């Protein structure tokens, strides 16, 4: 960040925070308590998460949104380098027969022309049915590429609500405020065309109990919540759902496909 921008942002931030100190007549002891809290937050490596929780969606809506395009959403902390899944299957191991499976498909389109975009890369990652991300391997992670008609399809599980902050300073803060620190179940997707990343968003599951109280402020919206349709169960009785979700992106180079 250049010096002028940094100085201007710092000055304005301090000015805004002074207003808060005056409004609540915050004491020096309370300021020091906040300082000790931020020390703990940093030692736990959680500063980025707290900034995301409070502010990332405002940035995303103001900076990353494109006209007519799918609403972007925060990247979150668990993006990684993923393998290509030629058959769209994100499962590296079979979960229990009681874990509902999901076939998600759709079309990637140019937001300005509505034309499908073949060869778009969609990078997916999500939590499992217990709300955990695979942070060592690539289970429930992977890249698929749209076909000649701009279509993609993945096979995965229905993710669950997510809370890994119960034991860390973020959980401590949210508990102290009487709020939950749970994220509504979602699937992350990043779309790139010709090597250029055009959209990072999240698709929310209608099965979530936390759609109206996701701890990331402003993350959940109706336009990013998929509809799950029941399909006939798999031969072993496992539940299967289908969902479609089309994505609209704004390529810098107009797509040439018909």
Q: Which residue is nearest to ligand DHB (CB)?
A: 76
Nearer to Fe ion, 109 or 188 (CB): 188
Q: Which residues contact 192 (CB under 8 A, 6 or more apart)?
A: 120, 121, 123, 198
In the list 88, 124, 141, 162, the residue contacting ligand DHB (rule: CB under 6 A) is: 162
142 binds Fe ion (CB under 5 A): no
Secondary element (H or E) of residue 22: helix 3-24
Q: Which residue is nearest to Fe ion (CB)?
A: 76
In the list 191, 216, 220, 248, the residue contacting ligand DHB (rule: CB under 6 A) is: 216
User: From the CB of 247, what's the least distance to ligand DHB, in Å?
Assistant: 17
Determine contact, residues 210/180, Cβ cutoff 8 Å: yes
Q: What whole-number distance in Å separates Cα of residue 64 and Cα of residue 23? A: 33
In the list 76, 106, 159, 169, the residue contacting ligand DHB (rule: CB under 6 A) is: 76
Instruction: Look at residue 255 and give the partner it binds from Fe ion, ligand DHB, none, a contact being a CB closer than 5 to 8 Å depending on partner kind.
Output: none
Q: How far is CA 192 from the centre of its chain?
A: 16
Q: What whole-number distance in Å separates Cα of residue 20 and Cα of residue 14? A: 10
Q: Which stretch binds Fe ion (CB under 5 A): 5-13, 68-76, 101-109, 222-230?
A: 68-76
132 binds ligand DHB (CB under 6 A): no
In the list 49, 60, 71, 76, the residue contacting Fe ion (rule: CB under 5 A) is: 76
118 binds Fe ion (CB under 5 A): no
69 binds Fe ion (CB under 5 A): no
Q: What whole-number distance in Å separates Cα of residue 145 and Cα of residue 84? A: 8
187 binds ligand DHB (CB under 6 A): no
Residue count, binding to Fe ion (CB under 5 A): 1
Q: Which stretch binds ligand DHB (CB under 6 A): 70-78, 87-95, 115-123, 193-201?
A: 70-78
In the list 85, 141, 183, 190, the residue contacting ligand DHB (rule: CB under 6 A) is: 183
Q: What whole-number distance in Å separates Cα of residue 61 and Cα of residue 212? A: 18
Q: What whole-number distance in Å separates Cα of residue 154 and Cα of residue 21? A: 50
Q: How far is CA 211 from the centre of its chain?
A: 13
Q: In this structure, are strands 101-110 and 186-193 parallel, antiparallel, or unpaired?
A: unpaired
User: From the CB of 163, what's the least distance to ligand DHB, in Å?
Assistant: 8
User: From the CB of 157, what's the least distance to ligand DHB, in Å?
Assistant: 16
DSSP conformation letters of 172-225 = HHHHHTT----BPPEEEEEEEETTEEEEEEEEE-TT-S-TT--SSTT---GGGB
Contacts with ligand DHB, residue ranges (CB under 6 A): 49, 52-53, 74, 76-78, 162, 183, 216
């Amino acid at each position: 960040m250049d010096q002028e921008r940094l100085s201007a942002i710092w000055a304005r931030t301090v000015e805004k925070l002074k207003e808060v100190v005056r409004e609540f007549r915050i004491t020096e002891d309370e300021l020091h308590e906040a300082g000790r809290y931020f020390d703990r937050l940093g030692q736990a490596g959680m500063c980025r998460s707290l900034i995301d929780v409070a502010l990332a969606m405002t940035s995303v809506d103001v900076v990353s949104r494109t006209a007519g395009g799918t609403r972007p959403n925060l990247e979150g902390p668990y993006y990684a380098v993923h393998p290509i899944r030629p058959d769209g299957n994100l499962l590296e191991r079979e979960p229990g027969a009681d874990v509902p499976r999901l076939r998600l498909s759709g079309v990637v389109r140019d937001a300005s022309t509505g034309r499908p975009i073949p060869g778009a890369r969609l990078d997916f990652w999500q939590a499992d049915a217990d709300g955990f991300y695979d942070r060592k391997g690539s289970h429930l992670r992977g890249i698929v590429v749209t076909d000649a008609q701009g279509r993609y399809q993945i096979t995965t599980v229905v993710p669950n609500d997510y809370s890994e902050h119960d034991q860390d300073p973020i959980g401590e803060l949210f508990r102290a405020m009487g709020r939950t620190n749970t994220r509504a179940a979602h699937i992350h997707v990043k779309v790139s065309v010709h090597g250029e990343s055009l959209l990072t968003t999240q698709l929310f599951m209608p099965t979530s109990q936390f759609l109206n109280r996701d701890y990331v402020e402003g993350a959940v919206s109706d336009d990013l919540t998929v509809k799950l349709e029941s399909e006939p169960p798999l031969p072993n009785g496992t539940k299967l759902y289908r969902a479609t979700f089309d994505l609209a992106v704004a390529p810098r180079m107009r797509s040439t496909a018909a």
